[in-house]
Structure formats: structure tokens, C-alpha cells
Amino acid sequence: MYQQLQQKLEQRLHQLLDDDIACVDEKVLRKKQLLQARQCQLLKAKAAVKVLFEDQDEIHYKVHLKYLMRQKDYVYLEEELEHRVAAKYKQEIVDDREQAFLSEVVPMDTLVPGDRYEEERKGFRYDRMQAVQYAERWWNSYNPAYPKFSVDCTNYISQCLRAGGSPMRGHPHKNKGWWVSGKSWSYSWSVAHALRWFLPSSQIGLRATEVSSADQLQPGDVICIDFQGDGRFDHTVFVTAQDRQGMPLVNAHTANSRMRYWSYEDSTAYTENIQYKFMRIQDDHS
């Protein structure tokens, strides 16, 4: 059965690489359309399977996907980790699907915009290079110095911002400021919707200016994503590079990714109602 899984993955990659093959996988189709719109060529694609666990009816596994991209004179490697579940019957794979994207569940009335509660230090300067280096170091692993979550996207982005020198404040109030301490943390540290509101409303320390388009961002900035367009933000990603059209490439956790195109049109969570907030991180020297 493991060979069947590998064969299915190779078929998906073959669809991506061959322009003449019709796609039945919606995610693959959207990725091909996105590559065409970006004038980007997929040079090579590779998938490695690792089985996590297996029971009588299902196989839970992860797939490490690597895409070698070329856009004009720019060649780079995009990577993505998929968590998948294959249903089996009589030693045959009868269904194979990516696990649904999860988002945090926090009561709306606990989310409070930025405040002036405390300031760790003055003269904050945001080191974008250090933040990006951290994002690259930990995109597919977990720093033991911090807590780890099943929905880890915003926790990972907060760590990147912290690596860039962003000062924490608000401890020990979970609905104030932005902080982590031992086994406790603010909502804004770990919840996508809370960070989305904190960044543009904060007046000191870590803060951001909301800009109108993705091409106004640079490495070290943040994008907040509302997949359903219902006003509750589900996901946060971190800008680590720009492509030859000046558009962001991002790293993320939960569905671990690196150098992925910012719009997430090739995600299983994508809907036509998707909304974005583009956050340009500010400091005291901006």
C-alpha cells in the first residue's frame, strides 16, 4: 500500500510538470494556473513520504514536497509539508486526502486591540535579517525554547518577530500586549486573529502599518489570511523573500512551508472569498 501512496504522489507531480496533462486535483490545477500567471517555470518536483501511524482503516502520513522554480533569472526552492490521510480497504487505497487546515478557537470577546500596558525597553530597532534567518532555520522544525501548538502558525511568526528584536510587553495578562513566558502566553502571541488586530493597533514596541497590497511588503513583514472571508483570520505567514515581480514569498507553520507564493491559491484551504491583511513591521527608527 505504501507503494500505492508513492505512485499517487508521483502522478500529481507529473500533472504539475506536464502542461498537456489535464488535472483532476483542484490544488494541482490552481498551482499550475498560479505558475502561469507568475510567468514561473517548475523545473523539478520531488515528494518524500513518511508514515506517521497506521490503524485498521487509515494511514496517516506526511509528504515533504520540493519544487525547483525558475522565474526569469531567479531560481529558488519552494518546500511544503502536507499531512495526509489515506483510507484503505482490503489492502487497497480507496481515498487519499490532505488533512483539513485547522484554525485556533478563541472567544471573540477575549481579543483586545493593542494597549500601552508596558514597554520592555526603548529604542526598538527591528532586525529583518535576523528575523528571516530564524524563519529559515525553523520553518520545518520547532525551537524547544518555545511552546509548540497543533495550530502553530502564529506562534512561529511571533518567534520570528522576537528573533528580529521585537520587545515583549503585557505579561501576565493574556488579552494584553504580546508576550510568552514559560508555559503562558498572550493571545496575540499564538492566535492568528488576535495578532491580526494587535499589530496595527499597537502604539509602542512591536507594531505594524497595514498597507494596501502585497508588493508593498519586504522580508520580515507579515501577512494575515482569512480563508473564508468571514472576518475571522485563520492563518499568519512570514515574508522571507521577493520574487522577480516584487511579490512576497513566505514561510509558515501548521502546514509547514518555505518560499511559498503569498496568495495561498494552491492551498486546500483556499476559497474565492479569501481576504488578506498586509502588515509592514515598524520600529522606533522607521
Quick: pLDDT tens for 69-92: 999 999 999 999 999 999 988 888
**Helical pair 2-17 and 26-37, crossing angle rounded to 10 deg:** 30
- Residue 201's Cα: distance from chain center in Å? 22
pLDDT of 17 reads 85
DSSP code of residue 132: H
pLDDT digits (tens, 9 = 90+) for 4-44: 777 777 888 888 888 766 766 788 889 999 999 999 999 99
**HSE-up of 266 (CA within 13 Å, CB side)?**
20
Domain membership flag for residue 144:
yes
List beta partners, residue 279.
210, 222
| DSSP-based three-state secondary structure for 267 | coil
The answer to whether residues 25 and 119 belong to one domain is no
Q: Which residue has the cell 520531488?
A: 46
Distance CA(27)–CA(271), nearest Å, equals 11
Q: How many domains, in total, are found in the chain?
A: 2
Q: Which of 37, 67, 98 is the last residue of a domain?
A: 98
- Provide the domain limits for residue 86: 2-98
**HSE-up of 84 (CA within 13 Å, CB side)?**
27
Domain membership flag for residue 103:
no
pLDDT of 115 reads 43
The answer to whether residues 262 and 217 belong to one domain is yes
CATH number at residue 220: 3.90.1720
Residue among 211, 214, 212, 224 nearest 286 (CA): 211
Spatial neighbors of 44 by CB under 8 A, at least 6 apart, are 17, 66, 67, 68
pLDDT of 112 reads 44
Distance CA(217)–CA(281), nearest Å, equals 9
The answer to whether residues 158 and 209 belong to one domain is yes
For residues 138 and 146, is the Cβ–Cβ distance under 8 A? Answer: no
Q: Which of 49, 79, 98 is the last residue of a domain?
A: 98
pLDDT digits (tens, 9 = 90+) for 177-236: 999 999 999 999 999 999 999 999 999 999 999 999 999 999 999 999 999 999 999 999
pLDDT digits (tens, 9 = 90+) for 137-187: 999 999 999 999 999 999 999 999 999 999 999 999 999 999 999 999 999
The answer to whether residues 92 and 124 belong to one domain is no
Distance CA(164)–CA(167), nearest Å, equals 9
Residue 227 CB: number of other CB atoms within 10 A? Answer: 20
The answer to whether residues 191 and 76 belong to one domain is no
Residue among 124, 116, 210 nearest 164 (CA): 124
